[in-house]
A = this chain, B = another copy of it.
Amino acid sequence: MAKRTVIFKNKPTIIGSYSIVGPKEGKGNFASYFDFIMKDDCFGQDTYEKAEKKMIESAVAGAIKNANIQASDISLLLSGDLLNQIISSSYAARNFDMGFLGLFGACSTMAEGLAVGSSLIDGGHFDNVVCATGSHFCTAERQFRFPLELGNQRPPTSQWTVTGAGACVLSRKGNGPKVTMATFGKVVDYEVNDVNDMGAAMAPSAMDTMLTHFRETGRTPDDYDLIVTGDLGKLGSEILIDLMEMNGIKLGLNYNDCGQMYFTRNQNTLSGGSGCGCSATILNSYIISKLRKGELQRVLFMPTGALMSTTASQQGETIPGVCHAIVIESDVKPQGGGVQSKSINKSTTASKGRSKKES
């Protein structure tokens, strides 16, 4: 079999990142890490779709500002989202005088952008690119399930699409966490057909990518101080743990899932968070901040996407999944030595971040 894992010799550097979230997300477990918390879900726009677009614009502009470079030094924006024809990304791209690569990997988009962007930097094709994605609870619900006005009941397996966007600038030079590997995922379909059970639909693709990554790199879960899937949620991440165990690999306390971690228990999101913005906002706030400080040394970041569509579902199709894996390593030596944080849930709300509330 042709390999699907790439090892980056020139180690593309994340020189800046930015995260913006909605008010509910701003009360979740990562509240103190986000750059910006919106006052309401409309973000001053007259539709939710326009709010989603504006969030992606803000994330891209924020990441460029935090990277401390000029937009004119960036060759490409790589972005995608959940909306039909990825309108949030492509309409946001109008505002940036740079090339645009539109991606669709559903909720795996942050990793797809990082995989392609890092390859372009590593190959010497470009000096700087920016990767972005985002999602919005209200646009996703009405496009994929029911209009919010219907007030329909949500089953226990359902997840809450995160209202948020994240972006980061990848560069050939500079200081910051390094992208050292990428395992490109394949489309896997275990014939789940419940649009309210995304975790089950995506877990097999996460398993496939994780097994491929370990096989092709010779690594094991112990080589990482954090292995984090995108948005399998509570149920999906349990399924992944089972699937991996069936393949002889035990995921320990260094494994977690962004969807599972996102909200507090009393926020009533059932199986947890989801959406492109779920893993993107945690990566571009909490994870990158910990890598910058050396509190995390080596992270396996694995956003998962459910490639579902109302048209396909109406025609009797099942829901395939895809998952790409990105290895990000700190450029700061660990302070205590060795692996720092085997379980990250505990420290989440404790330490102070840099988030600003919209005023």
Contacts and interface: CB of A to CB of B under 8 A. Distances in A.
Interface string A79-120: 010111111001101101111111111100000100110011
B185 A322 contact: no
A61 to B, nearest CB: 15
Contacts of A83: 309, 311
A1 interface: yes
Contacts of A93: 186-187, 320
B91 A184 contact: no
A112 B112 CA distance: 14
B315 A98 contact: no
B125 A106 contact: no
Interface stretch (A70-78, A274-282, A332-340): A70-78
A185 to B, nearest CB: 6
Given A119-B120, A122-B123, A91 B315 contact: no
A130 to B, nearest CB: 11
A166 to B, nearest CB: 19
Q: Which of A2, A72, A143, A189 has the most chain B CB within a 10 Å cutoff?
A: A2
Nearest to A86: B104
A47 interface: yes
Nearest to A322: B100
Contacts of A143: 311
B310 A84 contact: yes
Interface string A312-328: 10010100101000000
A85 B104 contact: yes
A127 interface: yes
B315 A47 contact: yes
Contacts of A47: 315
A249 interface: no
A124 interface: yes
A49 B119 contact: no
B72 A1 contact: yes
A100 B323 CA distance: 9
Contact of A2 (B73, B94, B119, B184): B73
